[in-house]
């Protein structure tokens, strides 16, 4: 699988997580990924430690393997020209700047695609490239909250309850996964049409989309889903239980499994 994209060159102008995650996946599949960083500090996550491996943070290393990094000052005419030259030879351009940033630096994606008709440009942002909230920035935690994930994550209301954030930046990661899928689809379409595409991946839309069965539960029942701790909204038993020697996660997905579960715990009559 490492050589599947060996003929693809990616210009990764993104930073932090969602965009770099997509670039990393494309690199894992064999693409030649060139990461653009600002002079001096580089990607913000280079400073997100501890822990450190030498002078590099574990966070940065987790998201930027299989890449070559170069520094370019996009605020200067020379830096802008370098980006245009790199984009003219790239198959894919990834960016996750605040909406309108590239245009401000005279690097409008539509112009880059005009110079390189086969270029696939993928823009990742908090709320997308259009709409009333398009100009608003947003980190993962804000998207988890506003996109509904925290409303169904954590113990129910009450003592010790309340909304909780998922333990990893899952909104960023899933947006990166959606971006990767869209880029691969666009590259396949290019083999048919010979033309690249512009891809708009909002973190917010991605977050709402992968609420999946919870979305459909609401559309079918009209009931707003709530927090259930480790329990499942459709299946029982499907949650963590405290036992004398530690916590036990029990996941039973059908009647046959429940029969075996009931028999194993010495209560076969429960499956009658």
Taking the C-alpha atoms of residue 206 and residue 198, their distance in angstroms, rounded to an integer, is 17
Active-site residue, from 32, 140, 172, 255: 172
Taking the C-alpha atoms of residue 216 and residue 225, their distance in angstroms, rounded to an integer, is 10
Known catalytic membership, residue 255: no
β-strand pairing of 52-53 with 9-12: unpaired
Q: Are 93 and 124 in contact (CB under 8 A)?
A: no
User: Partners of 68 in the beta sheet?
Assistant: 34
Taking the C-alpha atoms of residue 167 and residue 144, their distance in angstroms, rounded to an integer, is 11
- Sequence-ordered list of residues with C-beta below 8 angstroms from that of 154, at least 6 positions apart, any chain: 161, 162, 163, 164, 227, 229
- Sequence-ordered list of residues with C-beta below 8 angstroms from that of 135, at least 6 positions apart, any chain: 98, 99, 100
Q: What do you get for the CA distance between the two ends of the chain, in Å?
A: 48
- Sequence-ordered list of residues with C-beta below 8 angstroms from that of 157, at least 6 positions apart, any chain: 226, 227
Show which residues are catalytic. Answer: 172
């Amino acid at each position: 699988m490492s050589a599947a994209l060996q003929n693809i060159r990616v210009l990764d102008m993104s930073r932090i997580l969602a965009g770099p995650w997509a670039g990393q996946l494309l690199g894992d599949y064999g693409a030649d990924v060139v990461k653009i960083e600002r002079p001096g500090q580089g990607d913000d996550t280079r400073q997100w430690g501890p822990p450190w491996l030498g002078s590099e943070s574990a966070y940065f290393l987790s998201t930027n393997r299989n890449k070559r990094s170069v520094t370019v000052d996009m605020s200067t005419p020379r830096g802008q020209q370098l980006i245009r030259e790199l984009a003219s030879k790239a198959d894919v351009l990834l960016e996750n700047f605040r909406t309108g940033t590239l245009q401000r630096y005279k690097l409008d994606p539509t112009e880059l695609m005009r110079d390189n008709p086969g270029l696939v440009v993928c823009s990742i942002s908090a709320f997308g490239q259009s709409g009333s909230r398009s100009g608003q920035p947003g980190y993962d935690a804000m998207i988890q909250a506003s996109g509904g994930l925290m409303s169904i994550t954590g113990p129910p209301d009450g003592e010790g309850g309340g909304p909780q954030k998922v333990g990893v930046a899952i909104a960023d990661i899933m947006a990166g996964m959606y971006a990767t899928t869209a880029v691969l689809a666009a590259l396949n379409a290019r083999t048919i049409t010979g033309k690249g595409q512009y891809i708009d991946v909002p973190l917010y839309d991605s977050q709402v989309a992968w609420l999946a069965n919870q979305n459909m539960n609401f559309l079918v029942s009209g009931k707003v889903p709530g927090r259930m701790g480790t329990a499942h909204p459709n299946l029982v038993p499907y949650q963590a239980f405290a036992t004398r020697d530690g916590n036990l996660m029990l996941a039973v997905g059908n009647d046959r499994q429940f029969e075996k579960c009931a028999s194993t715990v010495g209560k076969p009559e429960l499956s009658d």
